[in-house]
Amino acid sequence: MAFWEKIGWRYWVLAVIVGIGLPIGSTLIGLSPVWRFGGLLLLINGGLAIGLGRRIYQHAQPGWWLLIWPLTYLVGAIGWLPQYTWYLAIVYLCLSYVSYGLAQTHKQIRS
């Protein structure tokens, strides 16, 4: 079990469900491209990127875990979303990194 904790299995499970499961689900139910881009990709996935960046810092997890979410999203996007959505993986990586850094700055200011 120590191995699974070390690689952050909770982050992997969440990333696979949202990064691969949501694109498949939105494609299967026939969600319109506007709702898929605005609601799914920007609000839900962007919020998840910000939340994971903060949480990874707050729990003193390794920084490479910031890559888990964008990479699993990219796998889901390549498989089930239009090509223009692939670039959002970079946006999610940037959002995670910025929220990780801002959480660090916020904690230093309080000290």
| CB atoms near residue 42 (< 10 Å) | 13
What pLDDT, on a 0 to 100 scale, did the predictor assign at position 103?
87
Q: Is the pLDDT of residue 67 over 70?
A: yes
For residue 45, which amino acid is it?
N
In tens, the pLDDT along 19-60 reads 999 989 888 998 888 888 888 889 999 999 999 999 999 999
- Contact indicator for 79, 23 with CB cutoff of 8 Å: yes
- Tokens at residue 56, please? 């990874």
Confidence at 111, pLDDT banded by 50, 70, 90: low
What pLDDT, on a 0 to 100 scale, did the predictor assign at position 108?
66
For residue 92, which amino acid is it?
Y
Distances (CA, A) of 28 to 22, 25, 32, 67, 78: 10, 5, 11, 27, 15
Q: Is the pLDDT of residue 13 over 70?
A: yes
In 3D space, the residue among 55, 41, 27 whose CA is nearest the CA of residue 85 turns out to be 41
What pLDDT, on a 0 to 100 scale, did the predictor assign at position 106?
66
The half-sphere exposure of 75 on its side-chain side, counting CA atoms within 13 A, is 13
What pLDDT, on a 0 to 100 scale, did the predictor assign at position 107?
65
